[in-house]
A and B are shown apart, each in its own frame.
Chain A
Amino acid sequence: MEIGLHHYLIVSAILFGLGLFALISRRNAILILMGIELILNAANINLVAFSHFGGLGVDGQLITIFVIILAVAEAAIALAIVLNLYNHFSTVNVDEANTMKD
């Protein structure tokens, strides 16, 4: 079986769905961050796949590298926020960080 674009897109869609599910259903801030990483990587797979199959050279790979770099920066800042959240509330459950609500 020839591995074509569809396979990549299906893998990417599954990955995106899992990421989104993690984003929606988890209460743990770190798990939410992991969901975001999954979504970003699903997008990365798409970029590389479209780049490869669409004959666009290495444009997709380039943008993917930028996305990975951004994801690293984002993860660093997000973990810093989660660390502060933990310092403040002694938990990483986002539902309990609701003091701005009332």
Chain B
Amino acid sequence: MDYTLKYLPLVILLVPMFSFLLLAFFGNKLPRKGDFIAVSLLFINLALSLIVFFAFAQTGKYSYTVDWFNLGKGNLNFTAGFVIDELSSIMLIVVNAISAFVHLFSVKYMEGDAKYKKYFSYLGLFTFSMLGLVLTNNVLLMYVFWELVGVSSYLLIGFWYEKPAPQEAAKKAFIVNRVGDVGFFLGIMIIFLTLGTFTFTDIFAGIEAGKLQGGLLTAAGILLFCGAIGKSAQFPLHVWLPDAMEGPTPVSALIHAATMVAAGVYLTARIFVMLSADALTFVTFIGAITAFISATIAITQNDIKKVLAYSTISQLGYMIMAIGVGAMSFGMFHLVTHAFFKACLFLTAGSVIFGMHHVQDIREMGGLRKKMPITYWTFLIATFALCGVPFTSGFLSKDSILAATMAFANINGGITYIIPIIGFSVAGMTAFYMFRLLIIAFLGEPRNKEKYDHCHESPIQMTLPLIILAALSTFVVFSFNPIGADSGWIMQMMKTPESLLTGTKGMIYHIVDRAEYTEMLHHAHYPAMFLSLAIAGLGILLAYVFYHWKKVDVEKLTEKIKPLYNFSLNKWYFDELYDATVISFTMAISRLSAWVDNKIVDGVVNGSATVTRWTSFGSGKFDNVVVDGLVNFTGGLVGFFGLIFRKFQTGKIQTYIMFLVFGIIVLYFMFR
């Protein structure tokens, strides 16, 4: 069993890499461009991760570390390693399962695409990076895989780079993520400077020993969380995720619903025990704000993928909020359930888009229930899960989170009651916008007759993953008790660890110990459940009243609350706000530096060139006139004297003798 845990995770990590390399280099030579290899490798990987999971369930936590490299005189040791614990073993299954289903789904969805081979190899690269991120026990390695995930997501978002919109979206996603990553890296540096290690267990041991505390600890926690803000599309860096919907729809299911965006939540869960009270407050409020903002935006969107994208951001906000309020295991639970039902939703959206021949606007749809029954039913189940209808997995995880927020508010009181209020209102909005989407797209009469007539149900390769994912969205997968997850395997396995800072107080936050928290949670469970059921029911009812029975004229209502409607439709003007502030500021700075470059730097360069030119002109003149003049003068002088003296050189000896005689006579008189 020891060997299973020692080597199998590495095999699991490297299988998608192998798939990537194989397809990238030999894809064109393989039959069907090697897609069947990629798909079957991923299903094998899924089986392997199940084996790892069961091995872990038997033997417990396993960590394996090797020396990576040393810097300096051996006092800076970097290690590499992986850890198999409840977080990573469950994440392994989630990542591999979603990736495998997405691979299978993509075979039909991407059929005939010019870059078919490239698509599958990118999927392999992405799965590799995501698995590495999940497995590592080392924050530096995590950062490496974190960036790899960013790169592969960039490649996949910009997959159709011939069109301008995917290019822009890919760039935006990459740059916005970079902003968060700067914070992540600063956090890593704080940790390394104070604790001298990257390994999670050593970091936690160091913090427990009090080597890093107070404001610096809070700063480190918040900075590390900044990475999660970028990757998990939290406010204020959530703007990239809706644009990332420009990628192929299965990619949206894999990356922007189930795995990549979960990386931030996973990171926050990993570092949960070291987050100080103030850092947790920050996390909680960021999550709550994100959940609220994106839920309000999702209500008015008309693109089927945009609605799902904003609902994803909203649910990610839920997870972050759950970790923030101290219910880390609930956050992770919601991450797992959400991964399945949101992947299902995105794939059904993909199925709809495929069936409708690339129509994404829900106003063009309608009545699809009859044409695409399997898609409709799977979509319905996943929607139930997202809305938190009983007997679904989403009900279990969402109720746990809402109960946790109530318990949190009961402990801390005061302003913190805003957190459960936001939580419940978001639950209501979620139910409303999901059923709005469902009713407009699938029920009622077809709005576009021509499109409707050409619409068809998707082939088995696409519907099979939908059915499996819908089945995974039911309560039995996680707990046999439909109204409480506490007895289910996942909650039994994944307990929220005791925070290292239990008992400390922040500005408005008090980290209580687990026992007290569980007690409060217990009290909050049933009220939260009934309240959320009521609110979700209300949301669904309203959606039916508005869009199905049409008791209220939506158009008129929209006219009445036009400013609010526009505010939501335009996504709270975040893009405009960033355009007006950050981007124009950056542009202004770049213009300024361009001006400095053009005028000042170039001016200096040109000036020095001019000076050089003038100097060389002067020295040229000096050379030509003075030096050459001197030389010529010398030559001329010599020539002049030569002209004179050559007269004496007659060649006649008698003349010479005469000069000699005269010379002697002169000398005689001189020296007499």
Contacts and interface: CB of A to CB of B under 8 A. Distances in A.
Interface of A: 20, 23-25, 32, 94-95, 98, 100-101
B661 interface: yes
Contacts of A32: 654
A95 B654 CA distance: 10
Given A20-B657, A94-B652, A94-B653, 4 more contacts: A20-B661, A23-B657, A25-B654, A100-B651
B657 A101 contact: no
Contact of B654 (A23, A98, A100, A101): A23
Interface in B649-664: 651-654, 657-658, 661
A92 B653 CA distance: 15
Contact of B657 (A24, A94, A95, A98): A24
11 contacts: A20-B657, A20-B661, A23-B657, A24-B657, A24-B661, A25-B654, A94-B652, A94-B653, A94-B654, A95-B652, A100-B651
Interface residues of B, number: 7
A96 B156 CA distance: 108
Contacts of A100: 651
Interface string B630-668: 000000000000000000000111100110010000000
Interface of B, helix, strand, loop or mixed by DSSP: helix
Contacts of A25: 654
Nearest to B657: A24
A24 B654 contact: yes
B661 A101 contact: no
A20 B658 CA distance: 9
A100 B652 CA distance: 11
A81 to B, nearest CB: 13
Nearest to B658: A24
Contacts of B653: 94
A24 B654 CA distance: 5
Interface in B416-443: none
A98 B652 CA distance: 9
Interface of B: 651-654, 657-658, 661
Contacts of A95: 652
A25 B658 CA distance: 9
B196 to A, nearest CB: 99
Nearest to B655: A24
Interface of A, helix, strand, loop or mixed by DSSP: helix
Most A Cβ at <10 Å: residue of B652, B654, B657, B658? B654
A101 B653 CA distance: 12
A11 B658 CA distance: 22
Contacts of B658: 24
B665 to A, nearest CB: 11
Contacts of A20: 657, 661
Nearest to B654: A24
A98 B651 CA distance: 8
B183 to A, nearest CB: 98
B668 to A, nearest CB: 13
Contacts of B661: 20, 24
Contacts of A101: 651
B16 to A, nearest CB: 101
Contacts of A98: 651
Nearest to B652: A95
A32 B657 CA distance: 12
Contacts of B654: 23-25, 32, 94
A20 B664 CA distance: 13
A98 B649 CA distance: 13
Nearest to B661: A20
Most B Cβ at <10 Å: residue of A24, A32, A100, A101? A24
Nearest to A17: B661
Contacts of B652: 94-95
A19 B406 CA distance: 148
A20 to B, nearest CB: 6
A95 B651 CA distance: 10
Nearest to A32: B654
B126 to A, nearest CB: 99
B626 to A, nearest CB: 40
A100 B653 CA distance: 13
Smallest CB-CB A-B distances: 9 pairs: A101-B651, A24-B658, A24-B654, A24-B657, A23-B657, A20-B661, A98-B651, A95-B652, A23-B654
A76 to B, nearest CB: 21
A58 B661 CA distance: 32
Contacts of A24: 654, 657-658, 661
A32 B653 CA distance: 11
Nearest to A102: B651
B649 to A, nearest CB: 10
A100 B661 CA distance: 25
B432 to A, nearest CB: 123
A98 to B, nearest CB: 7
A32 B652 CA distance: 13
Nearest to B659: A24
A26 to B, nearest CB: 8
B228 to A, nearest CB: 105
A19 to B, nearest CB: 11
B667 to A, nearest CB: 16
A32 B658 CA distance: 13
A24 to B, nearest CB: 5
B337 to A, nearest CB: 120
A25 B654 CA distance: 7
A43 B658 CA distance: 19
A76 B592 CA distance: 106
A24 B661 CA distance: 10
A16 to B, nearest CB: 11
Contacts of A94: 652-654
A94 B650 CA distance: 13
A23 B654 CA distance: 7
A100 B654 CA distance: 16
